[in-house]
Amino acid sequence: MSEDRYLTFALGKGRLANKTMELFEEIGITCEEMKDKNSRKLIFVNEEQKLRFFLSKGPDVPTYVEYGAADIGIVGRDTILEENRNVHEVLDLGYGKCRMCVCGPVSAKKLLLHHERIRVASKYPNIAKDYFYNKKHQTVDIIKLNGSVELGPLVELSDVIVDIVETGSTLKENGLEVLEEVCPLSARMIVNPVSMQMETERIKDLVNRLRMRLEATLKSNTPQ
């Protein structure tokens, strides 16, 4: 363990980063300069605790962590599965809960049952491929989109989509339904394998403190 070395965190910009900093504050990890919401700065430092935080696009977080540009990353499980990088997943942070699902018009259900060769639009082509090829053993054509994926079946680009469902309101407002669930999702902490060896004590201590905090919050929110 080297106390002089900065421990670097890559956080997915936006809601996930905000939620993460709230949780970190609860265990005494703060970064005052990150609180200025008008700032366009990308790297923030806590000199006293020798911590460094940077904000990146979510899908880039596993890349920074795999290459060691960040020791630790906080990112959704969807991104971890899609990017499939060489990183260790060490903690389920519990927030950002949602589901990866196959969705479409109800009429598409029979296409899934009969293993037909269908078109699947998704922002997550690797997750979609893994689900259809390896789990369902169904040959499909996958079309990569970058957002507003629900448009796929609406404009007849695809039969179904593989996408994130949180409240379900995007599907409902567009006349689509969850047809099958691929997997549950939430925010996760990932660690670079070399950092895990070099900074074992510091990282283990951080994970334990976070885990205890998350368990305490869960307990206080559970009706007795």
- The pattern of x and - marking residues 98 through 127 that bind ligand PRP according to CB under 6 A reads -------------------------x----
Question: At its nearest, how many Å lie between ligand PRP and the CB of residue 124?
Answer: 9
- Residue 147 within binding range of ligand PRP, rule CB under 6 A: yes
Question: At its nearest, how many Å lie between ligand PRP and the CB of residue 187?
Answer: 14
Q: Which of 168, 174, 177, 198 binds ligand PRP (CB under 6 A)?
A: 168
- Written in H, E and C, the secondary structure of the chain is CCCCCCEEEEEECCHHHHHHHHHHHHCCCCCHHHHCCCCCCCEEEECCCCEEEEEECHHHHHHHHHCCCCCEEEEEHHHHHHHCCCCEEEEECCCCCEEEEEEECHHHHHHHHCCCCCEEEECCHHHHHHHHHHHCCCCCEEEECCCCCCHHHHCCCCCEEEEEECCCHHHHHCCCEEEEEEEEECEEEEECHHHHHHCHHHHHHHHHHHHHHHHHHHHHHCCC
Question: At its nearest, how many Å lie between ligand PRP and the CB of residue 150?
Answer: 6
Measured from the CB atom, the residue of 164 and 179 that comes closer to ligand PRP is: 164
Q: Which of 10, 142, 164, 185 binds ligand PRP (CB under 6 A)?
A: 164
- Residue 163 within binding range of ligand PRP, rule CB under 6 A: yes
- Residue 148 within binding range of ligand PRP, rule CB under 6 A: yes
